[in-house]
């Protein structure tokens, strides 16, 4: 091949303008790159240093940021509403068929295993509420009350409801989240309570539940004769004449840092203590399933864990509390909350608080109370709660699950489901929770039959 042929082979054919255009574009881009690099080399060292400093500063600002909570100084006590972030939402993504009319109760048939989540709560909600849930997931605004109306309203309603002589036991729950978040697990907690205490009185202290739709959700219980109501809290009234009064006043004025943990969650920890101190009775978290009567328990708090070497408790929990009105240990709990409040440490103002106080008190102080062992309320620790929801994987596992169910039924007053860890778990057929649910439901045709 001639030299002329070699040279011509490197030339772009005249008949292919597209290829020539891209080669020209590539050469132009290359020249621009060379020019930019050459310009950088010609810059003085100080200019390069300034450019590098600018880039580092911009990067730092984009990574580090500070979130400032709005001041509470302009908020009055009757306007404070608990955070809606504190509770986890439990949704029903595989609803169980139920028999529904306007006045009849939902009926769950034998053999259809509800699943928490899994049971259909549409019966409890009005048609307009279901329509809103279908088109929107916005948080339901919490009701507000003018100060003049709020003052005295809470105490009058509580007195009117709990003053009923037919109440065979006073029970309290708090709901600090939106009405839309009150799901299957919470409804079954109420069912299990009335299954074991058909003549009890239940007050759900909540802004969102104290509404027309909240009343609709509780109507199946009230129509069946159960005594249940929702009442908006009056924090100033509940905290009056306790160490929490000054703390709450400072909180309203903006003198208390609410911290990173949702304020509503911390207010719930204080609210349960104040309710029992003011009225006495039993407090239950909304993820606690009741297995037997609690009315015989007085001045009781449950241990969550024990020391394997000594047999002494190592941590207490406040998900279940049973105390007389005005009990001095409750006062110490409230005092500890006000003096050591830390809004940025999860559990500091709740389970860890009651553990700190009980760990310091001396029996000679005259504080008459009992610490019951973990099986009473916490038969399964949070790290192993998933085992309650799983069905049998074989014959041996099936026998183990049945033995576990029998043991819990025999030894426990209630089961804490540790909602933070188990909220996404579904109840599998023949699991421990499946048996517990059928044994302690209210709206079902037959209770589960235990195989021997």
Q: Which of 54-63, 110-119, 265-274, 392-401 has the lowest mean pLDDT?
A: 110-119
- Which pTM value belongs to this model? 0.69
- 332-347 as b/e: b if 16+ CB within 10 A: bbbbbbbeebebeebe
pLDDT at 94 (0 to 100): 33
Structure confidence by residue, pLDDT tens digits, 398-413: 999 999 999 999 999 9
Assess whether pLDDT exceeds 50 at residue 332.
Answer: yes
pLDDT tier, 95 (very low <50, low <70, confident <90, very high otherwise): very low
pLDDT tier, 449 (very low <50, low <70, confident <90, very high otherwise): very low
If you average pLDDT over residues 188-194, what whole number do you get?
96
Structure confidence by residue, pLDDT tens digits, 17-27: 555 555 665 66
How many CB atoms sit inside 10 A of residue 8's CB? 10
Domain boundaries, the chain: 78-440
Assess whether pLDDT exceeds 70 at residue 176.
Answer: yes
pLDDT at 443 (0 to 100): 87
Structure confidence by residue, pLDDT tens digits, 143-164: 343 444 455 799 999 999 998 7
How much of the chain exceeds pLDDT 90, in percent?
A: 55
Assess whether pLDDT exceeds 50 at residue 14.
Answer: no
């Amino acid at each position: 091949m001639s030299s002329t042929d070699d040279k011509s082979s490197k030339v772009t054919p005249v008949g292919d303008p597209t290829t020539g255009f891209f080669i020209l574009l590539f050469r132009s881009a290359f020249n621009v790159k060379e020019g930019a690099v050459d310009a950088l080399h010609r810059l003085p060292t100080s200019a390069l240093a300034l450019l590098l400093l600018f880039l580092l500063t911009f990067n730092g600002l984009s990574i580090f940021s500070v979130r400032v909570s709005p001041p509470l100084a302009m908020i009055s006590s009757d306007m404070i509403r608990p955070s809606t972030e504190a509770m986890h939402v439990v949704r029903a993504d595989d609803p169980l068929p139920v028999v529904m009319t306007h006045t009849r109760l939902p009926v769950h048939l034998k053999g259809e295993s509800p699943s928490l989540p899994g049971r259909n709560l549409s019966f409890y909600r009005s048609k307009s509420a279901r329509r809103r849930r279908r088109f929107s997931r916005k948080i339901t605004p919490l009701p507000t009350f003018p100060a003049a109306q709020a003052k005295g309203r809470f105490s009058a309603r509580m007195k009117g409801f709990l003053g009923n002589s037919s109440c065979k036991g006073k029970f309290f729950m708090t709901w600090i989240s939106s009405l839309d978040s009150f799901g299957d697990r919470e409804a079954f907690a109420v069912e299990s309570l009335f299954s074991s205490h058909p003549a009890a009185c239940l007050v759900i202290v909540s802004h969102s539940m104290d509404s027309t739709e909240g009343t609709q959700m509780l109507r199946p219980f009230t129509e069946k004769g159960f005594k249940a109501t929702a009442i908006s809290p009056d924090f100033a009234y509940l905290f009056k004449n306790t160490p929490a009064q000054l703390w709450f006043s400072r909180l309203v004025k903006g003198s208390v840092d609410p911290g990173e943990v949702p304020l509503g969650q911390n207010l719930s920890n204080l609210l349960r203590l104040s309710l029992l101190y003011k009225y006495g009775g039993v407090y239950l978290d909304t993820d606690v399933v009741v297995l037997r009567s609690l009315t015989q328990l007085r001045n009781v708090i449950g241990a969550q864990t024990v020391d394997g070497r000594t047999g002494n408790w190592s941590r207490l929990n406040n998900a279940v509390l049973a105390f007389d009105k005005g009990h001095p240990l409750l006062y110490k709990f409230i005092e500890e909350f006000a003096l050591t409040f830390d809004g940025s440490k999860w559990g500091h103002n709740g389970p860890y608080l009651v553990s700190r106080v009980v760990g310091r008190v001396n029996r000679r102080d005259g504080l008459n109370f009992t610490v019951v062992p973990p099986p009473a309320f916490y038969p399964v620790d949070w790290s192993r709660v998933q085992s309650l929801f799983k069905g049998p994987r074989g014959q041996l596992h099936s026998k183990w699950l049945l033995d576990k169910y029998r043991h819990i039924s025999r030894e426990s007053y209630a089961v804490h489901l540790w909602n933070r860890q188990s909220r996404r778990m579904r109840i599998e057929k023949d699991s421990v929770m499946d048996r517990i649910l059928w044994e302690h439901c209210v709206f079902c045709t037959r209770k589960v039959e235990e195989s021997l």
